[in-house]
């Protein structure tokens, strides 16, 4: 246990230590059940309680009203790139996509297989270093939905508030900032998120869908690709990610115990501010990738003056116990992913390390 390093990986990513310990303690046999979570039937009363409690806790954390359903699916956020257009692009078969990074582009690619995609805005020519402004959006008031990516994991940019899209349903890939702050879910038609960034292990994907949108899913869709199947079956049409849902449930309880999403947001901002302050006060030694008004509080991306120096920093950081700080190849440099579970003292330690590195190499 004392050998854990600081894990800055973008995903799968760090989980709360309390959650890992509880899961470890109960892995051999769930209390009162005598079987591991890895062995129980998804049709058992025990699992019924686990999935329903996870759902209820997420509903309470996100303050969801009865207009929304919560689904636990498989196939990652990447399958949602297909399920979203397959289910809710009809009957008009046209949708708006706002391109702010590699993941939104991948989402758009699948949507194009279903119907017509209008690129409402893109910041690709600036290597996705910012979020487009409201007045840049060229929205089609008759679109089936508007798709955006709330936090761009690779580029380190984040929407500070949702785009205004009028009456058109807003669809959001929130994989890397779900549960990092309170959001007004009533602004959304559908939110999806792979669990493995900020919520749980890989293998389960959260989908929050406004129930009226379920009416758009055609009966001719493949059963497993139809949101209605999973909504009707309480995500138990087939065997779900039993373990993944269990861990999401523990994470939700950990969030509630620690003050909920407002408390989480406050801490997340404090952590991100420490790193951005270090970057901003480095006299250009560290250069942030994201423009200031588009900065993510989950993924902090920055570069140094040469690739050689970046390599040196990554190597020395890794040796010092800061794991996973190498940036994605499309940005280069470094990326520190500091999701909910990442401890503030780990951020403080990295800042200290960066300052010393600058002193020696600046
Ligand atoms: C990681 C990530 C994805 C891909 O998730 P998978 O679950 O691996 O399919 C999609 N969107 C965003 C924003 C991500 O960070």
CB of 150 closer than 8 Å to CB of 159: yes
Which atom, in ligand 1's list, is nearest to the CA of 78?
A: 9
**Of 3 and 159, more confident:** 159
240 lines ligand 1 (CB under 6 A): no
Catalytic positions are 103, 173, 197
pLDDT digits (tens, 9 = 90+) for 176-201: 999 999 999 999 999 999 999 999 99
Q: Is 149 in the pocket of ligand 1 (CB under 6 A)?
A: yes
Cα-Cα-Cα-Cα dihedral sign, residues 29, 30, 34, 40: negative
Ligand 1 atom nearest to CA at 194: 7
Q: Which of 316, 315, 322 is nearest to 343 (CA)?
A: 322
Cα of 253 from ligand 1 centre, angstroms: 24
Atom 8 in ligand 1: residue holding the nearest Cα? 76
What's the pLDDT band for 1 if we cut at 50, 70, 90? low
- 261-361: same fold as 19-257? no
Residue 74 near residue 205, CB atoms below 8 Å: yes
Q: What is the DSSP letter of 136?
A: G
SS (H, E, C) 142-210: CCCCEEEECEECCCCEECCCCCCCCCCCEEEECCCCCCCCCCCHHHCCEEEEECCCCCCCCCCEEEEEE
Give the pLDDT score at 3.
83
Write down the pTM of the prediction: 0.98
Q: Is 103 near ligand 1, meaning CB less than 6 Å away?
A: yes
The alpha carbon of 99 and the centre of ligand 1 are apart by a number of angstroms equal to: 15
302 with 331: CB under 8 angstroms? Answer: no
Percent of the chain with pLDDT over 70: 99
46 CA from centroid of ligand 1 (Å): 30
Where exactly are the structural domains of the chain? 19-257, 261-361
Whether 153 is in the pocket of ligand 1, judged by its Cβ within 6 Å, is yes
For ligand 1, whether the C-beta of 78 sits within 6 Å is yes
d(CA 242, CA 341): 22
Residue 173 near ligand 1, beta carbon < 6 Å: yes
Closest ligand 1 atom to 76 CA: 7
Cα of 233 vs its chain's centroid, Å: 25
Q: Kindly state the average pLDDT of the residues 219-236.
A: 98
Q: List the residue whose alpha carbon is closest to atom 7 of ligand 1.
A: 76
109 CA from centroid of ligand 1 (Å): 14
If pLDDT is split at 50, 70 and 90, which confidence band does 2 have? low
Class of domain 261-361: alpha beta
* Distance from residue 288's CA to the centre of ligand 1 (Å): 22
- What's the pLDDT tens digit per position in 41-91? 999 999 999 999 999 999 999 999 999 999 999 999 999 999 999 999 999
- Closest C-alpha residue for ligand 1 atom 14: 175
7-27 confidence digits (pLDDT tens): 999 999 999 999 999 999 999
The conformation of residue 75, written as its DSSP 8-state character, comes to S
- Collapsing DSSP to helix, strand or coil, 68 comes out as strand
Topology adopted by domain 19-257: 3.40.640
Tokens of 311: 């390599």
Residue 332 CB neighbours (<10 A): 17
Q: Is 257 exposed, middle or buried (0-12, 13-18, 19+ CB in 10 A)?
A: exposed
**Ligand 1 contact via 158 beta carbon (within 6 Å):** no
3-class SS at 32? Answer: coil
Contact of 227 with 87, CB cutoff 8 Å:
yes
| pLDDT for the residue 200 | 98
CA of 77 to the centre of ligand 1 (A): 5
Averaged pLDDT score across all residues of the chain: 97
CB atoms within 10 A of CB 98: 24
How do residues 147-173 score in pLDDT, each as one tens digit? Answer: 999 999 999 999 999 999 999 999 999
């Amino acid at each position: 246990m004392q050998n854990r390093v600081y894990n800055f990986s973008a995903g799968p990513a760090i989980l709360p230590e309390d959650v890992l310990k509880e899961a470890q303690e109960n892995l051999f046999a769930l209390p009162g059940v005598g079987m591991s979570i890895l062995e129980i039937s998804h049709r058992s009363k025990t699992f019924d309680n686990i999935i329903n409690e996870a759902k209820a806790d997420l509903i309470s954390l996100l303050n969801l009203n009865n207009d929304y359903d919560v689904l636990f699916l498989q196939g990652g956020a990447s399958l949602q790139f297909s399920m979203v257009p397959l289910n809710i692009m009809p009957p008009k078969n046209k949708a708006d996509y706002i391109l702010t990074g590699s993941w939104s582009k991948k989402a758009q690619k699948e949507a194009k297989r279903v119907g017509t995609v209008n690129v409402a805005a893109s910041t690709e020519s600036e290597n996705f270093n910012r979020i487009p402004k409201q007045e840049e959006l060229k929205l089609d008031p008759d679109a089936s939905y508007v798709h955006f990516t709330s936090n761009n994991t690779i580029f380190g940019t984040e929407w500070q508030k949702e785009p205004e899209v009028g009456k058109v349903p807003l669809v959001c890939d929130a994989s890397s900032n779900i549960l990092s702050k309170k959001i007004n879910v009533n602004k959304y038609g559908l939110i999806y998120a792979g669990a493995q960034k900020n919520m749980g292990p890989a293998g389960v994907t959260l989908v929050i869908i406004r129930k009226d949108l379920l009416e758009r899913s055609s009966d001719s869709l493949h059963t497993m690709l139809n949101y209605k199947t999973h909504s009707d079956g309480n995500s138990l049409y087939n065997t779900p990610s039993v373990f993944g849902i269990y861990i999401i449930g523990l994470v939700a309880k950990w969030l509630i115990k620690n003050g909920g999403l407002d408390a989480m947001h406050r801490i997340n901002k404090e952590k991100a501010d420490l790193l951005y302050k270090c970057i901003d006060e480095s006299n250009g030694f560290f250069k942030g990738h994201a423009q200031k008004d588009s900065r993510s509080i989950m993924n902090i991306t920055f570069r140094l003056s040469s690739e050689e120096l970046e390599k040196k920093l990554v190597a020395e950081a890794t040796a010092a116990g800061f794991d996973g700080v190498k940036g994605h190849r499309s940005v280069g440099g470094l990326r520190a992913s500091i999701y909910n579970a990442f401890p503030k003292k780990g951020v403080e330690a990295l800042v200290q390390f960066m300052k010393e590195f600058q002193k020696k190499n600046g």
